[in-house]
Chains A and B, each alone.
Chain A
Amino acid sequence: MSTDVTVKEMVARGEGSAVPAQVIRKQMAHLRVRRGGPDGTQLEDFHVEVEEGMVVLDAVHRIQATEAPDLACRWNCKAGKCGSCSAEVNGEPRLMCMTRLSDLPEGPVVVEPVKTFPLVKDLVTDVSWNYRVNKKVQPFTPREMTAEEKAKGEFNMKQADIDRVQEFRKCIECFLCQNVCHVLRDHHREDAFYGPRFMIRMASLEMHPKDGADRIPALAGEAGVGMCNITKCCTEVCPEHIRITDNGIIPLKERVADRHWDPVRWMIGKLGGK
C-alpha cells in the first residue's frame, strides 16, 4: 500500500509522468488527452487511479474532478444508451462509456475528439450539421388507416414486418458512423451525402409499413445514397450493431436502381405495402 500513497503524492505534486512505469501500471492509468480548440491542440498527460471495471469516461471524469476541471467532454447516460461521449480512443472511434480500460493494450491511452466534425474544445466537437440534415428528412407520413385501425386508433402491423425498422430505430445518434464515413471524413462531401446515420433514418421511414411518402427522389438526389461505396466502415463502428450497409444502405440503393431501371416492379412493390 505504501507505493500507492507514493504514487498519489507524486501525481498530486504534478510528477505523474516521472513515476516509474512499472509502478504506474499496477494502480494507475496513463491517459494522453488531446486538448485545445480551433486555434490549436496538444496532447496532455494525466495519470489517474484505476478501479476494477473502469471505462475511459470514468478516467476523464476523474481528471475533471482532480487535475483539470475545465476538461471539456460530452456525456449523459454512461450506459451506452444516449450516444453523447463519442471519441477516438487510441485512434478508434468509440463510446468512452463502453470502453473498458482493461480491454485496451498496455501503454498510454490516447483520447481524442472525433475528427470529422469541427472542434469546439478538447473532446467536444460541433455536430450541429447532423441536426440540420435531420430537419431535411421528410418525417413519418402516415398512410390512411383501415376501418379496423381507425376504430382502435392504432396501426395494425405484424412484428415480422417491423423487425427491420426497429433495428434502424436502435440508433442512438452517436454519429460515429458519420465520423468514419470516407465521403464525410476524407472528402468532406457534406454537400452531396447525408451520411450513414441519415441513410438509416431514411431507411427506417422508407421501410415502415405504414409510411406513405416517396423518399426515392430524395435518396437519389440530395441525400446522395449513390455516394456510398460500401466500405462498411460505418457498420464496423456502430455501438448498436446496426447492419447499416447490408440492411439499410444497400436495399436503399436497390430501391433507387429499381425506380430508375424498372419502374413497374417498383410500383408493384409499393402497392404491396413496400
Chain B
Amino acid sequence: MDRFDTHVHDVVVVGAGGAGLRAAIESATMGQKTAVICKSLLGKAHTVMAEGGVAAALSNADARDNWMVHFRDTMRGSKHLADYRMAVHHAKEAPARVRELEMWGAVFDRTKDGWINQRNFGGHTYPRLAHVGDRTGLEIIRTLQDKAVHTPGLEVFMELTVVKLFKSKDGKVGAALAYERATGRFHLFKAKAFVLATGGVGKAFRITSNSWEYTGDGMGIAYEAGADLLGMEFVQFHPTGMVWPPSVKGILVTEGVRGEGGILRNTKGERFMFRYVPEMFKGEFAETEEEAARWLAGDKNARRPPELLTRDVVARAIMAEVKSGRGTPRGGVYLDISWREADYVRAKLPSMYHQFKELAGVDITKEPMEVGPTMHYIMGGIRVDPDTEMTNVPGLFAAGECAAGLHGANRLGGNSLSDLLVFGQRAGAGAASYARGLPSTPEVDPAEVYAAVAHALEPFDRATGESPFAVMDALQEIMQANAGMVRFRDELEHAAKEIEALRHRAAKVRVAGTREFNPGWHVAMDLPNLLVASEAIALSALAREESRGGHTRGDFTDADEEKWGKTWVVCRRENGRMKVVLEPVVPMPADLKAIVSGKAEDVATKKEASA
C-alpha cells in the first residue's frame, strides 16, 4: 500500500518567496506544468520581511546610473569574489524585472515626475533602490503571489516541507519527498526538473533577523543529492538589528534608516563611521558632517555619508565601538533619525516607526534607536551555472538566497530582491527548457522513497530521546559563539567537532504527540539541513585564512589578495563526508575589469554632466 500521495509535474519549485514564485511564473508561462511547494502559507515567505528596496539601475532618481555602475558596485561590494557573469546578468536585467512587476500590479513610490522612485543604500553609488516605504518585500511578494495564482498551469501546495530529493540511475533528479505540515501525510512530487528557492540558514544562529523557515533546507537536500556548496564562509551580519528588549533581539532595522539620513553614534556622542572608511573606498565618502549633510540635501558634488558603507564594514565598526567600551550597556550603538521631520520619518519608515513603538516603547521620531549586528543573510549557497542556474546535479536548479555566486564575500543591500527576480526568472526558464528537452520523467527507486518515509517517522518510535528543540538550541549557541562575526581557528575547529556530535544527537531525538501539525517533529526534520549548512559554514571559514567581506578571522585579520582574493571555497559530499575544495575564481575579461577598477564617474552616463 502507498504511504504517500504522488503528484506529477514538469517542473517543481521548492519555496515560494520571491525567487520561487518568479521561477514558477516563468516555467508555467513557458508551458511547463509547474508546482510550487512552500513551508508556510502563500505570501508569508521571508521575502515579505525585506524592507529597504530592490536595486536596479533604472536611472530615474539619478540619470548618471546605468548597469555598468551597478555591476561595478556589486563586484566591489563582493570584495571581488562575486561570479562576474552573474553580476553582469543581474545588473543588466534588474531594471526589466522591476518594471515587469509594475505591469503585474506593484505600486512603487514615485519620483516628482511620476516614475519609480529610488533611494540611497550602502555600497550603491547612486540612489538605486525602487521601494515602497519600508515594506518593499511585501509589495513584491504580494505582486508575485497574485501573478502566480492567476498563471495557468501553476499549482501551489501550501504548508508542505520537502525533505529529500531522489535521482534516477543515470544521476538525474526525478522526485522529491515532502510532508504536509497539518496532517503529517507524505507526498511524492515527480518532475523532470526541480528549482530550489528555499532561502537561507539564519536559524543556525542565536541572534538573527531570520524566521523559523530559514533552516538551510535547499542547501541540505542539494548537498545530499551531490550538489556543490560555494562560499559558505560568507555570512552577512546586518549592522542594525534591534538589541532591546531581549525578546526582539536581532529583529531587523532597515538600512533604509541610514539611506534616509540615519546617523550612527557611540555613547560618547561621536559619529564614529568617519573613522572606519576602508582603503578601497577612500575618497568616495564624505569626510565631514557638513559634507554628509550637503549630500543628503541633494548636492551632487558632495560625497555620501560613511553610514552608507557596505554592511560588512558598518557591522565591524559597530562591533569595534562596543568592544572599545563606547557601546551601550546592552551591547549596541545609537542610530538616530529623529533629527528629520517626524512626518517624513513616519511616511518613509512606517514599519520601523511601529516596530519600535510597539515592541520597544521607543518613538524613533523623538529618540535614537539602539542597534547592533544580527545574522541576516548568507552569501554562500548552492553552486549554479551563471546562465541557467542549474547545479552540478542534472535537473536540479537553485535561485535566491540558497544559491551562491552573485554576492561573493558581501552582498549589497537591495541586491537580494533583485537577485530573486533576475535569477528566479533565469532558473524558471532554465528548468523549463531542460524539462522540455527531457523525453520522460527520470525514474527513481521506490524503495529509496519508502526508506525515507520510514526514516522520517523514526522520532515518533523512540521511547526515549531528547527534544529536537534542545538540539537546535545547542547548535545556535555553538554557531553564535564560534562561527559568528569574528572567527578563530580553534573556535571553528571546536564548532566543527560539536556539529559532528550534534549530528548524533539529532539522529536520536524523540518526538511526542501525533503527526498532525507538530512543531517538535518539524524541527526534527529541519535539523539535518541546519547541520549540513552549519558544517559547511564552519569548514569553509576554517579554510579561508584571511578576512574578507562577511568573513572575519581574528587570527588572519588582513585580506590576502594574492591567494584568497582569487580563490573560492567549495564544499562537496565525498564518501559520506564533507570535503573542502579550493578552486580558482573565474577571471574577468579586461573590459569588465576596467569597469570595476576604474572610477564610477568613468562609466556613469554622461549626458547629465553636460546638462
Q: B-contacting residues of A (Cβ < 8 Å)?
A: 37, 51-55, 58, 64-65, 69-84, 98, 100, 120-122, 124, 126-128, 131, 134-135, 139-140, 142, 152-159, 162, 165-166, 169-173, 205, 208, 211
The closest CB in chain A to the CB of B469 belongs to A65
**Distance to closest chain B CB from A158 (angstroms):** 5
Q: Top 8 closest A-B pairs, CB basis?
A: A53-B245, A69-B520, A140-B105, A70-B513, A72-B517, A156-B114, A159-B110, A65-B469
A153–B99 CA distance with the chains assembled, in angstroms: 7
Q: What distance in Å separates the Cβ of A239 from its nearest Cβ neighbour in chain B?
A: 9
8 A Cβ contacts from B128-151 to A? 132-133, 135, 137-139, 142, 146-147, 149-150
Would you list 25 pairs from A and B whose C-beta atoms are within 8 A, ordered by A residue?
A: A54-B247, A69-B468, A69-B513, A70-B512, A77-B44, A77-B211, A80-B355, A81-B49, A82-B211, A98-B358, A100-B358, A120-B182, A121-B182, A127-B41, A131-B41, A131-B42, A135-B149, A140-B146, A142-B103, A154-B102, A157-B107, A159-B109, A166-B107, A169-B138, A169-B142
Are B359 and A55 interface neighbours, CB within 8 A? yes
Neighbour of A52 across the interface among B43, B107, B114, B245, CB < 8 A:
B245
Q: Is the CB of B49 within 8 A of A37?
A: no
Candidates B99, B139, B360; contact of A154 at CB < 8 Å: B99
Tell me, in angstroms, the Cα distance from A69 to B521 when the chains sit together: 8
In whole angstroms, what is the CA distance A152 to B115 when docked? 9
Bound Cα distance from A177 to B211, whole angstroms: 24
Residue B162, interface by CB 8 Å: no
For A155, the chain B residues whose CB sits under 8 A away are 102
Specify which of A126, A128, A154 lies most central, judged by the most chain B CB atoms within 10 Å of its CB. A154
B555 at the interface (CB under 8 A from A): no
Cβ of B213 within 8 Å of any chain A Cβ, yes or no, is: yes
- Do residues B359 and A53 form an inter-chain contact, with CB atoms below 8 A? yes
Q: Which residues of chain B come closer than 8 Å to A124, judged between CB atoms?
A: 182, 517
Cβ-based interface call for B354 (8 A) = yes
Residue of B nearest to A210 (CB): B102
Task: Kindly state the separation between the CA atoms of A187 and B115 in the bound complex, as whole angstroms.
Answer: 45
A98 to B351, CA, bound (A): 12
Most central of A82, A140, A158 by chain B CB within 10 Å? A82
Interface pair A64/B247, CB less than 8 Å apart: no
Chain A contacts of B32 at CB under 8 A?
none
Among residues of A, the one whose C-beta sits closest to the C-beta of B248 is: A53
Whether A169 contacts B139 by the Cβ 8 Å rule is yes
Check A72/B518 contact, CB under 8 A, given A52-B245, A153-B99. yes
* A82–B245 touching, CB < 8 Å: no
Q: Which residues of B lie under 8 Å from residue A157 when comparing CB positions?
A: 107, 110, 114
- Knowing A53-B245, A134-B149, A139-B147 touch, does A81 contact B110 (C-beta < 8 A)? no
Across-interface contacts of B592 in A (CB, < 8 A): none
* Closest Cβ–Cβ distance, residue A179 to chain B (whole Å): 15
Tell me if B211 and A76 are in contact (CB < 8 A): yes
Q: Report yes or no: A170 in contact with B513, Cβ–Cβ below 8 A.
A: no
- Kindly state whether residue B96 has any CB partner on chain A within 8 Å: yes
A171 to B107, CA, bound (A): 13
Residues of B in contact (CB 8 Å), total 71
Query: Could you mark each residue 101-122 of chain B with 1 if its beta carbon is under 8 Å from any beta carbon of chain A, else 0?
Result: 0111101011001111000000
Q: Which among B102, B132, B139 has the greatest number of chain A C-beta atoms within 10 A?
A: B102
Within the complex, the shortest CB–CB distance from A266 to chain B, in Å, comes to: 23
State which of B44, B58, B115, B147 has its C-beta within 8 Å of the C-beta of A156: B115
Q: Which residue of A lies closest to B355 (CB)?
A: A79
Complex interface bits, B465-504 against A, C-beta within 8 A gives 1, otherwise 0? 0011110010000000000000000000000000000000
Q: Within the complex, what minimum Cβ distance (angstroms) separates B38 from chain A?
A: 11
Using known A-B contacts A75-B212, A139-B146, A159-B109, determine if residue A70 contacts B518 with beta carbons closer than 8 Å.
Answer: yes
Task: Judge if B251 is at the interface, Cβ distance under 8 Å.
Answer: yes
Decide yes or no: A205 and B105 within 8 Å by CB, A75-B212, A153-B96 being known contacts.
yes
User: Which B492-537 residues have a C-beta within 8 angstroms of A?
Assistant: 511-514, 516-521, 523
How many Å lie between the Cα of A77 and that of B40 in the bound state?
A: 11
Which residue in A58, A81, A153 is a CB contact (below 8 Å) of B135?
Answer: A81
What is the bound-complex CA distance between A205 and B246, given in angstroms?
41
Partner of A120, one of B138, B147, B517: B517
B residues less than 8 Å from A127 (CB atoms): 41
B48 at the interface (CB under 8 A from A): yes
A84 contacts across to B, CB distance below 8 A:
40-41, 44
Complexed CA–CA distance, A128 and B182 (Å):
12
Q: Report Cα–Cα, A159/B468, bound state, in Å.
A: 50
- Contact at B247–A139, with CB atoms within 8 Å? no
Are B40 and A74 in touch, CB under 8 angstroms? Answer: yes
At the interface, yes or no: B406 with Cβ under 8 Å from chain A?
no
Contact A51 B41 (CB under 8 A): no
CB distance from A253 to the nearest CB of B (A): 23
Q: For residue B54, give the distance in angstroms from its CB to the closest CB of chain A.
A: 14
Say whether B49 contacts A82, CB under 8 Å.
yes
User: Is the pair B142, A58 in contact by a Cβ cutoff of 8 Å?
Assistant: no
Residues of A within 8 A of B520 (CB): 64, 69-70
Closest to B510 in A: A69
Contact A121 B109, beta carbon cutoff 8 Å = no
Extra inter-chain contacts (6) besides given A77-B49, A172-B48, CB under 8 Å: A54-B247, A70-B511, A79-B251, A84-B44, A100-B359, A172-B138
**Considering the chains assembled together, what is the distance between the CA atoms of A4 and B472 in angstroms?**
26
Cβ contact of B519, chosen from A72, A81, A140, A173, cutoff 8 A: A72
How far is it, in angstroms, between the C-alpha of A27 and the C-alpha of B340 when the chains are bound?
A: 40
Q: Are B115 and A154 in contact (CB under 8 A)?
A: yes
Q: Which residues of B contact A80 (CB under 8 A)?
A: 351, 354-355, 358
- A57, closest chain B residue (CB): B247
Give the shortest distance, in Å, between A200 (CB) and chain B (any CB). 12
Q: How far is the CA of A134 from the CA of B147 in the complex (A)?
A: 11
Q: Does B158 contact A (CB under 8 A)?
A: yes
Residues of B within 8 A of A126 (CB): 182
Q: Which residues of B contact A153 (CB under 8 A)?
A: 95-96, 99
B234 on the interface (CB 8 Å rule)? Answer: no
